[in-house]
Amino acid sequence: MEQRVDFITLGTPDLEAARRFYVDGLGWEPTLEVPGEVIFIQVGHGRMLSLWDAAAMDADVGARGDARGGRMMLSHNVGSPAEVAAALERASAAGATIVKPAEATSWGGHTGCFADPAGFLWEVAHNPGWRVDADGRVVMGVVDD
């Protein structure tokens, strides 16, 4: 499991308020938005901030408001569903708690989640529509297959 964070996800109770702050207020430009669900904003070379509706995040990974990281998750992207499973096994062997086993997602990928020893959430994801160009630009495309 390479030492890499690709996404930082913040579970956000009011996406419109988040949009007013980050997009209207700070002037940050979204890469992709699904109204009422999620806003993706590139925040550096090959990295993305994801403002995700808190209820949707809770439904996906379980309500973690009591966890050390609150409603925050770091993501590590890999190249295939098999690599998702392998990374989760590696993390488990290293002492992580598996929060969500690897499974297919509605958007055509595979993800699983673990909590580190302090309780911080990590997602391991294979996203066939994710690409980082040589200049660091993140492309999030639609999966055709």
What residues make contact with a copy of itself under the rule CB under 8 A?
Answer: 1, 3-6, 8, 10-14, 17-18, 20-22, 24-29, 41-47, 49, 54, 65, 67-72, 74, 90-91, 93-96, 116-118, 120, 136
d(CA 72, CA 11): 6
Give the nearest distance from C-beta 123 to a copy of itself in angstroms. Answer: 14
Q: Which is nearer to a copy of itself, 62 or 136 (CB)?
A: 136
Please, which residue, 13 or 101, has the CB nearer to a copy of itself? Answer: 13
Measured from the CB atom, is 53 or 109 closer to a copy of itself? 53
Is the CB of 36 or the CB of 106 nearer to a copy of itself?
36
Closer Cβ to a copy of itself, 41 or 99, answer by number: 41
Alpha helices by DSSP H, listed for the chain, are 15-19, 54-61, 81-93
The helix (H) or strand (E) run that includes residue 126 is strand 121-126
What is the nearest approach in angstroms of a copy of itself to the Cβ of residue 31? 10
Q: How far apart are CA 20 and CA 16, in angstroms?
A: 6
Alpha-carbon span 89 to 68, nearest angstrom = 22
CB of 144 to a copy of itself, least distance (A): 27
Inter-residue contact 31 to 39 (CB < 8 Å): no
Query: Which one, of 90, 137, 134, 143, lies nearest residue 126 by Cα?
Result: 143
- Token readout for 11 is 């579970």
Closest separation in Å from C-beta 139 to a copy of itself: 16
Least separation in angstroms between residue 84's CB and a copy of itself is: 15
